[in-house]
Amino acid sequence: MSGSKEIKTRIRSVRNTKKITKAMELVAASKMKRAVSSATASRLYARYFWEVLTSVGVSLEETTEPLLLRRPIKNILLLLITSDRGLCGAYNSQVIKKALALLGETNSTAKITLITIGKNGERAMRRIGKDILATFTELPSFSTVRDINPLSTLVIKEYTSAHVDQVVVAYTDFVSAMLQKPVLKQILPISKTDLAILIDESLDNVQKTSKQRAENKKIGYLIEGDKTKLLSSLTEKLCRMRLYQMVLESNASEHSARMMAMKNASEAAGEMIDDLTLAFNNARQSGITREISEISAGMASVE
């Protein structure tokens, strides 16, 4: 019966593990709901912000705004957004693969400087011997614009001082609780085409319909003062907002991935318990049958 005792101990251990994974699934689901609300709420803001920016910039045929100027790409700043903690499935590995693909493609054509957000990305880049300009860890689960100000300030400073000619972000775009898509997107220099695509991808069908209606009724803005200074302020705020949006998307994707990973772990634990219970019953039945056979054999020998 020693085999039965071992199986019973294993069943007890797996049940305890299932309780932990189920609790982590519920916590991740709660965090995911709040993170998704924050991410989706900021998408509409991005659209209206871009409308204001284009309304101001349309009257400026030529601009010297640093964040809008394009330069030959010799130095690239790559921001890699990952999580600080694990147990979130393939969330980190997929976005790290995107970053490594960019590193491989541009290794001979341009120098890449790295900024990592999250411990997993930092460890992965240091493991392959990449130099990191700065790393940001332990960001709040529900970050605010103020929380990422040091990051956005550093990015803007690196670009305006011409230390880098392009800023690219590797992050995970939230599509649904079942699907998170790792992507690479340029945030500097600010591109009208790229930003328009970003906004269109972010809006759902209802918002797109309202956008089409709004296009039929253009809003005219009356601007007082220096338009160049206003454009400079708007472009900087737009850069900070886009970076903040990407952090929110990554947070929502992380919690969704962790929720699904813990759900799969709980289901796998349940299946393992069923298999172990069947094995335990078979072992117990075999033991009982063996004991009955031994008793019957003993009685036959006495007779």
Residue pLDDT, tens place only, 133-152: 999 998 887 888 888 999 99
Q: Which two tokens stand for residue 37?
A: 């609300």
pLDDT for 197 beyond 60: no
Domain check: are 60 and 191 in the same one?
yes
Domain check: are 167 and 57 in the same one?
yes
Q: Band of the pLDDT at 209, cuts 50, 70, 90?
A: very low
Domain check: are 80 and 149 in the same one?
yes
pLDDT at 55: 65
Average pLDDT, stretch 62-79? 82
Q: Which residues pair with 112 in a beta bridge?
A: 76
Query: Could you say which DSSP state residue 220 is in?
Result: P
Q: What is the CATH number of the domain that holds 134?
A: 3.40.1380.10
Please count the CA atoms within 13 angstroms of the CA of 204 that sit on its side-chain side. Answer: 8
Structure confidence by residue, pLDDT tens digits, 259-300: 999 999 999 999 999 999 988 888 888 777 777 777 777 777
pLDDT at 213: 45
What counts of helices (H) and strands (E) characterise the chain? 7, 5
Residue 243 lies in a domain: yes
Residue 229 lies in a domain: yes
* Average pLDDT of every residue of the chain: 81
Domain check: are 231 and 98 in the same one?
yes
Q: Which two tokens stand for residue 92?
A: 């980190």
Domain check: are 262 and 188 in the same one?
no
pLDDT at 175: 87
Element (H, E) at 238: helix 227-302
Residue 300 lies in a domain: no
Structure confidence by residue, pLDDT tens digits, 225-268: 677 777 778 788 888 888 998 999 999 999 999 999 999 999 99
Residue 299 lies in a domain: no
pLDDT for 33 beyond 90: no
Domain check: are 59 and 155 in the same one?
yes
**Domain interval for residue 154:** 36-256
pLDDT at 20: 93
Residue 303 lies in a domain: no
Domain check: are 174 and 200 in the same one?
yes
Count how many domains the chain has.
Answer: 2
Q: Which two tokens stand for residue 206?
A: 């209802």
**Distance between CA 69 and CA 53 in Å, rounded?**
15
pLDDT at 62: 56
Residue 298 lies in a domain: no
Residue 189 lies in a domain: yes
Higher pLDDT, 208 or 169: 169
pLDDT at 216: 45
Which residues have a Cβ under 8 Å from the Cβ of 181 and sit 6 or more positions away? Answer: 172, 173, 175
Q: What is the CATH number of the domain that holds 286?
A: 1.10.287.80
Domain check: are 71 and 182 in the same one?
yes
pLDDT at 150: 92
Domain check: are 176 and 279 in the same one?
no
pLDDT for 61 beyond 90: no
Residue 249 lies in a domain: yes
Picking from 25, 94, 3, the residue whose alpha carbon sits closest to that of residue 269 is 25
Structure confidence by residue, pLDDT tens digits, 87-138: 898 999 999 999 998 888 766 678 899 999 999 999 999 998 888 999 999 8
What's the order of all strands across the beta sheet hosting 111-117? 132-136, 111-117, 75-81, 166-174, 180-188
